[in-house]
Structure 1
Amino acid sequence: MKKRLLLPPQSPEHPERLKPYPVKLMQHQEQTAPELAHKINHIIANSRATALMLQEIAELVGLAANVDCCCLVTVTNDESTEPTTASWCSDEYLGIPLPHEMFSMERFLMELLVLQCAAEPRSIDEISVIRESLAIGCQNLPLPVKAVLAIPTQFGGINNGVISLIKFQPYDWHESEKQILKTIESSCAIAFSQVTQAQLIASQQQYLQKSNQHQSLIRQLTVLSRSNLELNQMLQLAIASTAESLQADRGLLILLKYTDPLFRTPARRQIPQAKADVVGEWRREKTNSSDISSESFFLADCGLCQRVFVEPGRPVIINDYTHLQDTSTVAPLFSITQLPAVLLMPLENQGKILGFLVLQQSVARNWQTAELNLVEMVCAQVSNAIIQSKTLRQVQTLVDERTAKLQSSLELQNRLRERTKQYVEQLRELNQFKDEFISNISDRLRHPLTNMRMSIKNLRLPGITPERQGRYLDILENECTKEINLINDLLMLQKLESEQEPPRFETIDLNTRIKEISNSLAPRLESKGLTINLDITNEPLKLQTELESVDRILQELLNNAHTYSERDTIIHLHTSHQVNQLVDQVMIKVTNTGRGISEEEATYIFDRFRRGRGGRWTPGTGLGLALVKSLVQHLNGAIAVESTPIPNSQLSEICFTLTLPQFSDESKPYSESD
């Protein structure tokens, strides 16, 4: 698209301004030219690549060169891209009306050939470029051009624009003005290149957008042809997508039903006997008219449709219905008077015409080759879909009975195979679990017994000192405690799973219990460089629950955080209150920093004797989290774990979220019946 920013005449004529120019040389030209180039570069760097950028440069150059007009014109070898022009005129010539007799461009250009149009002689190609740019840029100037100093710019060795300095009176150009053009030539070449590239990119984007719309249409039709939609539904969606994508005013999809079943490939120009049914319609403007998708007409009554058989293999394109020899033979449903422009493309398969795809416009439209090719591809897709649908209906009846029997047999085999596969997988998991259980429980039982046995042997040694004797007794006591705790944990798990006793509820201050437990564990945590950050309120957080179970849950979660936390990190403990489905709940979050938990490990991390890969070499029974889960279920709560990787680190944040009802069913402050 051609862009011109020219200054139109606005005010009465000023004859005194047409006097010959005095010779005015710019002061400090040697310093002004580089500064001018620098200012142009600044404009290029801070402006968008549009004609407005060229307008700023034209004004800047015109003022610096002290000329009447400065004209910038882009040059391109691409015929699809028109030149962009920007002109600036001095304020004293604004408003001067155009003379009745403008200068002859051809005569002026012939005179220009013998003038010094630039700082040095130019080749024939460069003079041609200057001539074309002047013909474009000077056609709307307010006064006849009397003197021009022009220079072509080059980018990448190719002419891409022309800079013209213009005087409206005879004038002899000086070396200073020529030096200005030489200095700014490279900067203006960059500006011309950016404007041309921006124009080219905009054109390509428009082309790509249209191509993407067409490709999207083909993809939609391909998906439709493979979908399980009924044929009529698929055809309706196909004509709607096609007409909307090609911006038609109306789209019709018509199928033919031949009354002569022997009719296959008719002789040339033979019109068969057939009935046409409208199976799909789309309109750009929704109207109150009744649906015509059920209307029909005979092919013999529509001369428009007969043209497909008269000229087979070619679409029917009519810009105006008056071009038809006899419009009375057009079927009324085409509304030819309101939509006179018609594109009718046959739906053809193996020489047989199945129907027509019709696109109509209220105004004349020149269909591009790419659009016609697209419609032809759509017709091919629709034709294939129609044939496939008819073939499937015919074959389906023959296949249904055999398929039903075969399907029954296959379903039985699949069920047996799937069940066998599940049994094998369960056996494999049970076997693996058994091995892990035996290995873990054996280690947990053997290790303390071994230590106790060694301590007993050492106690029997003669001459053992009281100090060593006390140390061995401490070992015996600690290892016995471990064994007792392991057995107690197993018994507690068994007791919780049997659900023999309901919870013994009492009201506690959760925040107080958390402070007490964290203080008791502080020395143990400090040995590993760990600290606890409590995010709890100073106000009491009342909780109706079983105190012993809550204490054990908090202890196990903090013990787990201590065991698997990275050294010198912080354990965060947060409490909050929430209402979920009219039920008051207390949420407790324990977050530590350590090795991440995979999705696979998270599925069994609360199982007894199941430990993550990273914890297999860490001392422990593998019962802590299993006990936590059983206690949480005992209190009608829920627990979950989430592992979030820390960016640029091999560690993760592991968060255990515990949710407990704030009040028991017997003691909650309100109910749904209140």
Structure 2
Amino acid sequence: MNKPFSPSKCLDEVNLHKQYSVKLMPHQEEPVYQLVNKINKIIANSSTPTRMLQDLAKVIGVAFQVDGCSLVTVSSEVSSETITASWCAEENLELSGAEDEMFSTEQHLDVAVIECASERFTIEDIPTIQKCLAIGRQSLPPTIKAVLAIPTRFGGKNNGVISLIKSQPYVWRESQKQLLKAVESSCAIAFSQVAQAQQIADQNQYLRTCVQHQSLIKRLTIISRTNLEINQMLRLALASTAEALEADRGLLILLKYTDPLFRNRRQQQIPQAKASVVAQWNGTTETPLINQLDISQISFSLRDCGLCQRAFVNSGNPLIIDDTDLKDTLTVNPVFAIEALPVVLLMPLEIQGKVLGFLVLQQAVARDWQATELNIVQMVCAQLSNAIIQTQTLRQVQTLVDERTAQLQRSLEVQARLYEVKRQQTEQLQKLNDLKDEFLSNISDRLRHPLTRISVAIRNLRQMGQLNERQTKYAHMIEQDCTDEIHLINDLLKLQELATHNERPQLETTDLNTRIRDLSATFEAKLADKGISLSLDFPDSPLTVQTERESFDRILQELLTNASKYSEHDTVVHLQVTHQVNQEVDQVIIQVNNIGRGISEEEASYIFDRFRRGKGRWTPGAGLGLALVKSLVQHLNGTITVESTPIEDSSFSTICFTLTLPQFSDKNDS
């Protein structure tokens, strides 16, 4: 950055004109010295560059006794703006203000009236002098008949033009040319200081603009990180942007597409969309039309506004419109208030090829938008587009979450009602089960007592010897039925006791091999009547088991009874006992195999349930034997399973009941 110039250094810089000094006659040295001295004082003491050039124009014009004097800077890389100062003699002021015959930039002076005091003058300098005279035409004589000009050079480049003007034809003297050449170096310094001052002003303006832009970016970042509602955030972002860019008015327009196939449109095709103004900001411009607009009620079709259509087609790039360009636009919606604010900047809000809306900035007077300002607008539009998409996405996700939450809530309510119904049903079933158990207990006691008395009476009659052969046969049948019914009642009571009383088994040491042989001996005669034989398979070493003897005996009796009922004639019931150690746990495995009609998977699923029997089985029984077996096995902390394996080339199967009992020892107790 160039440092601001200091007037105190101007006197040192004046010495630079010595290298451009010319040889003057002795009588000319005093006027030159006086004029240069005046110029240097003005350069050193002037407060502003504009004031300095104006004073120099007057001093030089008076010194040369001309009708007008013009000082104009030449634009360069340092400063593109031209600064001019003009002076006119008093007798020409009224005429200059009264007549409007001054030449314009299109009406160039005749080259014949222009004369240059510098030896470096070329034909290429004529357009520069003509342009400078056109720029500095204010306060100059209305007619120009003679011009003595000299381009000033500083640092090897032209930086200004000094023009002396006569309103009548005039032949410039050599002394005037020498005097003008003498002051050229001082004026070159003045022009250089003006250019530096202008550069400093431009840099200061650029710095202020950068600070404003940085402040805008910071405010937009803070706004984007807040938890504001989307419309409120858009209003704040619009206000910050329009204020930072010094616009007169700002609008934010969003599009809602009504054409579901707009993604497949041709590039130049305008889709069906509704444009709605969601935010508005007004600066210092007071326009009744603008102030009366209610943005909540402003909406229009995209196809009905040529201005928006042009911005839509030009998506990705800013659209700048001034009052002359609007002649080509067919329709403009009244929301833009074009008559009051004819200069418009439209920037599409676009993301992934979809135009979401437009950011609009308007001016009452023409404005030259800088590249940095357009970059800021593009950055703001990108942030707003992301915020809109994120809000829409979050809104969709929130809607989906709300729907799923509502569905889950309804599901939980249904499950709660079902659970309550199930709980009530479970309570009712438990009550019914308790009533059933109570009923079975009462009815079992009531049935057992008369059956017992009947059995006792029959035994007494038989002992008295008063029954003939036929009566004895009937008595035996009645006694057997009473015994079976008493056993059935006892089984029911035992099942009820095992289900309601979770008592620990009374374990005692039992010689397993001996116990099984004794129980098996009682079934040999019954099995022999059906032509069924019994095969026993024991380990070589004796086995002792810790178990409840009564429960174990009943389990084995029921398994052998079941085998005798359902085995085919002339088959073998095989009883095998094995000892297994699995993960330091001792187990006794007893398998009872018989050959009979196969058991289906469906039957196997309920074969241990109460009062359930296999389909098509007409063997007498109540269906409590295997149910009692399962309850007794569970009472002894064991397990029991059944498996039916078909025999090849036969309609029969091998049925295997596997009983597993823990808690045993393979050592004899001493």
* TM > 0.5: no
Q: TM-score, structure 2 length as denominator?
A: 0.44
With the length of structure 1 as denominator, give the TM-score of the two structures. 0.44
